[in-house]
Structure 1
Amino acid sequence: MKTAAAIFDVFGTLIEIRERRSPYLRLLKHGRLQGRRPRPDDALQLLTRDFTLRQAADHFDITIDALSLRELELVLEEELAGLKLFPDALEAIALLQDAGVKTAVCSNLAAPYGPSVRGLLPGLNAYGFSYSIGAAKPDPNIYNATCSMLCIDLGEQTANERVVMIGDSLQCDRDGPAHVGITGFHLNRRGDEGITNLVDFAKTVVVNARYYSA
Structure 2
Amino acid sequence: MNSRAAIFDAFGTVVRIGHRTNPYRQLLREGIKQGRRPHPGDAHLIMTLNLDLQGVAKHLGIHPSQSRMDEIETDLQAELDSIEAYPDAIKAIAMLQERGVALGICSNLAKPYGAAVKRLFPSMDAYAFSYEVGAAKPDPRIYKALLEIIGARPGQSAGATAPVVWMVGDSTRCDRDGARAVGIEGHYLDRSGASAIQNLEQFSDLMLERPLL
TM-score by length of structure 2 reads: 0.94
Q: Which residue of 2 aligns with 1:139?
A: 139
Matches within 5 A, 1:25-174: 25-154=25-154, 156-160=156-160, 161-174=163-176
Give the Cα–Cα distance (whole angstroms) in 2 for the partners of residues 179 and 153 of structure 1: 13
- Give the alignment partner of residue 205 of structure 1, picking from 192, 204, 207: 207
Structure 2, gaps ≥5 residues long = none
After superposition, give the CA deviation of every residue in 1:23-76 in whole Å (9 maximum; x if it has no partner).
Answer: 011101110111101112111110001111111111011111211111010000
Does structure 1 residue 194 correspond to structure 2 residue 179? no
Moved more, 94-103 or 70-79: 94-103
Helix, strand or coil: the match of 1:185? strand
Residues 48 and 132, structure 1, Cα contact 8 Å, conserved in 2: yes
RMSD: 1.5
1:104 positional shift: 0.4
The 1:67–1:35 alpha-carbon spacing in structure 2 relative to 1, beyond 3 Å, is: same
Question: Using a 3 Å threshold, how does the CA distance of structure 1 residues 54 and 184 change in structure 2: closer, same or farther?
Answer: same
Q: Could you tell me which amino acid in structure 2 is paired with residue 145 of structure 1?
A: A
Unaligned runs of 5+ residues in structure 1 are none
Q: Measured at CA, do residues 3 and 198 of structure 1 come closer, stay the same or move farther in structure 2, by a change above 3 Å?
A: farther
Provide runs of 4+ in structure 1 moved above 6 Å. none
Maintained 8 Å contact 1:53/1:69: no
- For these two proteins, the number of residue pairs brought into alignment is 210
Cα distance in structure 1, aligned partners of 2:152 and 2:197: 26
